[in-house]
Homo-oligomer: A and B are copies of this chain.
Amino acid sequence: MKKVVTFGEILLRLSTQSFLRFSQAESYKATYGGGEFNVAVSLANYGLDAEFITRLPDNELGHSAIKEMRKLHVKSENIVLGGDRLGLYFLETGASTRASNVIYDRANSAMATIQKGTINWREIFKDADWFHWSGITPALSESAAEACLEAIEMAHELGLTISTDLNYRSKLWQYGKQPHEVMPKMLQYSNLILGDIDTAYFMLGIEKANPDYQDEASLPKLYDKIFELCPNLKTAATTLRYSVSASHQRIGGVLYDRQKIYNAAVQEVTPVVDRVGSGDAFMGGLIYGFSEELFDKQRALNFAVAACCLKHTIEGDYNLVTKEEVEKLLSGDFSGKVSR
């Protein structure tokens, strides 16, 4: 595969340490993250050529975000500087019966105020064959939604594969439009969609279905409605997540290609070090699976689930694991034996 381009917002993440609550925090750990960037990091770690496009403020916080991208081997040359502030979010990490908590502080960020026409997509896509975006960007602001649609249309025109993580965030979408007013025309170009059926229905304006993912017989019919509204769609996939507690997750996955339902076995993850970004790790694993030469859908799904499991063990938003580490899990070795 040639270059994968992802587009979205990167945030400064300020998280309390050692399970402290916000009111106990005397300091915040500072890292970076954002759905589409996290996907780019996964791909770079697996050896793919990954580029991230965003808009950042021209101050030390914006520059530090670029330093982080370079460190992680994600291309940042086409990032545009401008706007007033870096978006950020505060994270309180839960444990056991207490859930994690996120306070977004991203309104009016450089990315939220991006305008159509800011990015030279034709130039960027020249040597790319995959474009990834998520439902977070159109949730930021009307102009961000337009800037994203512009990218999608150009990617489609130039024949890139387009993947989308639906990523519904109820705390966003504050600018007066509902997802179903914005998303359908954006999703029509997607070739691969990640998200559960009800989120897709919600964004496409279809009524809630309460799918039973264990019942493989019923799934194709439910998925077909999505395919009907998304004429370019070839594959839909979902992470299956069973939350026993904030510290104990069970992770599986389902993939449908209009012909067959693929299932990945459910894996136990306990304790959870950091679950933020685990969906992005799944997405990154899936794209990587699709990029492999002898591409096999079952293996791609399994790879995505194993990558997602590993992400839960790593602090921060990104999945800092190699292809070989994911494959060790794929091969069935969950023993956690010390390598020495």
Measuring CB to CB, which residues of chain A are less than 8 angstroms from any residue of chain B?
A: 14, 17-31, 59-61, 63-64, 67-68, 70-73, 84-86, 88, 90, 92, 94-105, 107-108, 169-171, 243-248, 267-273, 275-276, 309-310, 312-316, 320-321, 325, 329, 334-340
| Residues on B with beta carbons closer than 8 Å to the beta carbon of A103 | 59-61
**A320 near B21: Cβ-Cβ < 8 Å:** yes
Q: How far is the CB of A42 from chain B (nearest CB, A)?
A: 14
Bound form: Cα–Cα A17–B335 in Å? 21
**A96 near B340: Cβ-Cβ < 8 Å:** no
**B108 near A107: Cβ-Cβ < 8 Å:** yes
Q: How far is the CB of A92 from chain B (nearest CB, A)?
A: 8
A340 touching B104 in the complex, CB below 8 Å, given contacts A28-B28, A71-B71, A247-B270: yes
Apart from A19-B315, A107-B108, A245-B335, list 14 A-B contacts with CB within 8 A: A27-B29, A60-B90, A70-B71, A84-B107, A94-B313, A96-B272, A97-B336, A99-B336, A99-B339, A102-B340, A104-B340, A169-B340, A170-B340, A244-B334
Q: How far is the CB of A57 from chain B (nearest CB, A)?
A: 9
A22 touching B98 in the complex, CB below 8 Å, given contacts A27-B30, A245-B336: no
- 13 A-B pairs in the complex with CB atoms less than 8 angstroms apart: A22-B64, A23-B63, A60-B103, A67-B71, A68-B71, A85-B107, A97-B267, A97-B310, A100-B338, A244-B334, A245-B268, A246-B313, A247-B270
| Residues on B with beta carbons closer than 8 Å to the beta carbon of A325 | 98
Q: How far is the CB of A178 from chain B (nearest CB, A)?
A: 18
Of chain B, the residue at the smallest CB distance from A59 is B103
| Residues on B with beta carbons closer than 8 Å to the beta carbon of A88 | 105
Of chain B, the residue at the smallest CB distance from A100 is B338
A336 touching B70 in the complex, CB below 8 Å, given contacts A64-B23, A96-B271: no
Bound form: Cα–Cα A34–B290 in Å? 42
A73 touching B71 in the complex, CB below 8 Å, given contacts A95-B271, A96-B273: no
**B71 near A338: Cβ-Cβ < 8 Å:** no
A336 touching B19 in the complex, CB below 8 Å, given contacts A59-B103, A70-B70, A309-B97: no
Q: How far is the CB of A236 from chain B (nearest CB, A)?
A: 22
A320 touching B23 in the complex, CB below 8 Å, given contacts A70-B70, A245-B335, A336-B100: yes
A246 touching B100 in the complex, CB below 8 Å, given contacts A30-B27, A313-B94, A315-B19: no
Bound form: Cα–Cα A86–B22 in Å? 14
Most interface-central of A28, A169, A271, A275 (chain B CB within 10 A): A271
Q: How far is the CB of A101 from chain B (nearest CB, A)?
A: 5
**B102 near A338: Cβ-Cβ < 8 Å:** yes
Bound form: Cα–Cα A63–B103 in Å? 13
**B22 near A60: Cβ-Cβ < 8 Å:** yes
Contact of A24 among B28, B309, B315, B329 (CB under 8 A): B315
Contact of A72 among B25, B67, B99, B271 (CB under 8 A): B67
CB-CB nearest 5 A-B residue pairs: A246-B336, A243-B335, A102-B340, A71-B71, A98-B313
| Residues on B with beta carbons closer than 8 Å to the beta carbon of A338 | 94, 99-102, 275-276
